[in-house]
Amino acid sequence: MLIKKPADIWPSEITPQSVWEDRRRLLKMATAASLMWAGRGLAGSRVPERLPEVEGGRKIEGVAPGPFNAKDPLTPYENIVTYNNFIELGPDKRAPMYNADRLKTRPWSVKVDGECEAPGSLDIEDVFKLFPPQERIYRFRCVETWAMVVPWVGFPLGDFLKRFKPTSKAKYVAFETLYDPNMLPGQRKMPYFFWPYTEGLRIDEAMHPLTMLVYGVYGRELPNQCGAPLRLVVPWKYGFKSIKSIVHIRFTEQRPKPSWNRLQPDEYGFYANVNPEVDHPRWSQKYERMLGSGLFTRKRPTRMFNGYEKQVASLYKGMDLRKNY
């Protein structure tokens, strides 16, 4: 039997406390889940003989170089698009790539409402036209300790949000992924999760110039497994905050309750700022390993705020970052 090191266990594989306390429900769920995944194999595996093409989607025209570029060597494209967390498309790192074609990303629109003067909905093609694409090379750090350096293509989330004129009551911003179990089978296979996948930011975090809405990588449109057609990227926070395939953004007065935070608040905080001094309850956060750095994957020290301390530390002045994990 394969015994996983804590660092290899990712959030969706970890049984939430609220669930293991209810043993009967867990047993039922485990049986159903294993039958479903086993049945999937019997019904004809979706795993192709060879790796899918990884050249990427349509080339994005007119990409301008953006600010805040990391100096670290880039993670190869192949690693970025073949090693993913997208539980709606499957429970391990490769499944999202193999199941990517289930998700249809056109037509697609993003609705914005809540505490704002100009709520509305934008077709994704209009989003692309309205906000000029920038390339920004950002470090990305998953809570599971793997990390990468990615040339994203997108635009500042703040530019997008201002268009909808948030009111003074808009203290937070809540984000939602598409809910469609036919296209995103994980939503049926993992009934204990709080679907749709939701995330949230404080309004000043959302408006921070580092925070991006992303629709491309390496100059091409995002492959579905990376969160097409539009995802969030918040480079100083653990990767689970960077919600994929967004359909709904809401300004709120109350702090939203993101899915992971609701499920396991002691393991997946609302803030989830990268911090080498605050360990995950089941593993250390002191080191990270870079994807694609070879067989003996190189470990390097985790950096406070993932290396963006200069840009974002002031957002948390006076806050005890150990308590406000």
Binding site for ligand MTE (CB under 6 A): 11, 84-88, 142, 177, 197, 226-227, 239-240, 242-245
Least spacing, CB of residue 227 vs ligand MTE, in Å: 6
Q: What are phi and psi of 272, to 5 degrees?
A: 50, 40
Give the position of tokens 């994990």. 325
Specify the residue, 115 or 305, whose C-beta has the smaller distance to ligand MTE. Answer: 305
DSSP string, 142-190: -TTSEEEEEEEEEEEHHHHHHTT-B-TT--EEEEEE---TTTSTHHHH-
Specify the residue, 127 or 226, whose C-beta has the smaller distance to ligand MTE. Answer: 226
Angle at 9 between CA 83 and CA 263, to 5 degrees: 105
Handedness of CA 66, 230, 292, 148 (dihedral sign): positive
Helix, coil or strand: residue 91:
coil
Specify the residue, 105 or 242, whose C-beta has the smaller distance to ligand MTE. Answer: 242
**Cα-based torsion angle of the residue sequence 191, 37, 248, 69 in order, rounded to the nearest 10 degrees:** 130
Taking CA atoms, 316 is separated from 252, 311, 320, 322, 325, in Å, by: 20, 11, 8, 12, 11
Least spacing, CB of residue 178 vs ligand MTE, in Å: 8
Least spacing, CB of residue 24 vs ligand MTE, in Å: 27
Least spacing, CB of residue 196 vs ligand MTE, in Å: 8
Helix, coil or strand: residue 135:
strand
Least spacing, CB of residue 240 vs ligand MTE, in Å: 4
* Integer Cα distance of 232 and 28 in angstroms: 35
Using a 10 angstrom Cβ sphere, with 0-12 exposed, 13-18 middle and 19 or more buried, the burial of residue 144 is: buried
Specify the residue, 70 or 243, whose C-beta has the smaller distance to ligand MTE. Answer: 243
Specify the residue, 99 or 177, whose C-beta has the smaller distance to ligand MTE. Answer: 177
Q: Are 75 and 148 in contact (CB under 8 A)?
A: yes
Closest-CB residue for ligand MTE?
A: 239
Specify the residue, 171 or 265, whose C-beta has the smaller distance to ligand MTE. Answer: 265
Least spacing, CB of residue 117 vs ligand MTE, in Å: 28
Least spacing, CB of residue 242 vs ligand MTE, in Å: 5
Q: Which residues of 299-318 are buried (b: 16+ CB within 10 A; e: fewer)?
A: eeebbbbbbbeebbeeebee
Specify the residue, 185 or 239, whose C-beta has the smaller distance to ligand MTE. Answer: 239
Least spacing, CB of residue 44 vs ligand MTE, in Å: 24
Specify the residue, 189 or 244, whose C-beta has the smaller distance to ligand MTE. Answer: 244
